[in-house]
Structure 1
Amino acid sequence: MNKNTVKYLEMIQTVINRLASNSFQFKGWFITLIVAVNIFDLNQAPFNKIYVIILTTTIFLFMDVYYLYLERLYRELYNAVLLGKMRDFDMNINLFKSKRLYFKTYNSISAYPYYLVLLFILLWKLFK
């Protein structure tokens, strides 16, 4: 493997690491926002809180899964570079986009359990 390929792989790996850290940040922001929603009363009506909790959970879930999808696309690029299928320093991930990978990402076990379990706990606590 030549020096350019190694640098190219390091560059792709940097992008993958940055995208992977977004998942951790989204989960931290989600917890912070949910705590803030529970601290404020939202006009004393529990249904307003339910809507905010469900909307917040949905938005953060989709953002987290979208960044996971991008991360997987860059992993595909990384693998293509390892196999010698890509020219040096081409960061175009459009070649790897597919509906199969997109929907497979939405079925990821790394996002749904976290958000859905917290949503269930929050709604259960709200109606308790």
Structure 2
Amino acid sequence: MSDEFKENSQAVQIHLSIIQSIIQRMALNSSSCKTWCITIVSAVLVVVADKGKPNYTFIALIPILLFFALDAYYLALEKLFRNSYNDFVEKLHRSTLSICDFFVVNPMGNFARTMFASLLSFATWPFYFVLLLMVLVARCLLT
């Protein structure tokens, strides 16, 4: 391996920085999903309570399900990009990096399997399950 592919080379540092920023964005998007979901569900429940229409409480299930799926999607992408980061670092330490590794920034792994694992992750389902329970409690309190 040439000297240009060492840990302290600018190309290696920039490539790792790019992947780290992608991972950070996916984590921020996941967090934003939770924030927006709470905001929209709260707004729906306030309108439903104000209008006195408890049957419309179930409209709040739509954003819960949509944001749950979107949150799991971002969590899965974050995991796959962490795999890509780890693979790059492993190649760096084994001295098997090629010039092609610097021009590819793709998530690594099985997306379907990772997405399913993200749906069952402790980072997603407890939050949305509790929000779902809160909507059901609100429905009971409004009747």
TM-score normalised over the length of structure 1: 0.87
Instruction: Please say if 1:109 is aligned against 2:122.
Output: yes
39 and 111 in structure 1: CA distance in 2 versus 1, 3 angstrom threshold? same
Q: Deviation per CA, 1:27-76: give whole Å up to 9, x if none.
A: 111111112102213864322221x1111110110010001111111111
Instruction: Please say if 1:12 is aligned against 2:12.
Output: no
Match of 1:47 among 32, 52, 55: 55
Given that residues 72 and 124 in structure 2 are in contact (C-alpha distance below 8 angstroms), is that contact kept between their aligned partners in structure 1? yes
Aligned partners of 1:114, 1:123: CA distance in 2, in Å? Answer: 15
Given that residues 64 and 128 in structure 2 are in contact (C-alpha distance below 8 angstroms), is that contact kept between their aligned partners in structure 1? yes
Aligned partners of 1:123, 1:49: CA distance in 2, in Å? Answer: 8
Instruction: Please say if 1:62 is aligned against 2:69.
Output: yes
27 and 98 in structure 1: CA distance in 2 versus 1, 3 angstrom threshold? closer
98 and 29 in structure 1: CA distance in 2 versus 1, 3 angstrom threshold? closer
Instruction: Please say if 1:97 is aligned against 2:104.
Output: no
Provide the alpha-carbon RMSD of the alignment. 1.9
Gapped runs of 5+ residues in structure 2?
Answer: 1-6
Q: Alignment length, in residue pairs? A: 126
Given that residues 5 and 81 in structure 1 are in contact (C-alpha distance below 8 angstroms), is that contact kept between their aligned partners in structure 2? no
- Give the letter aligned to residue 70 of structure 1: L
Q: Which moved more, 1:96-105 or 1:1-10?
A: 96-105
Gapped runs of 5+ residues in structure 1?
Answer: none
**1:98 positional shift:** 4.3
Aligned partners of 2:136, 2:125: CA distance in 1, in Å? Answer: 16
23 and 102 in structure 1: CA distance in 2 versus 1, 3 angstrom threshold? closer
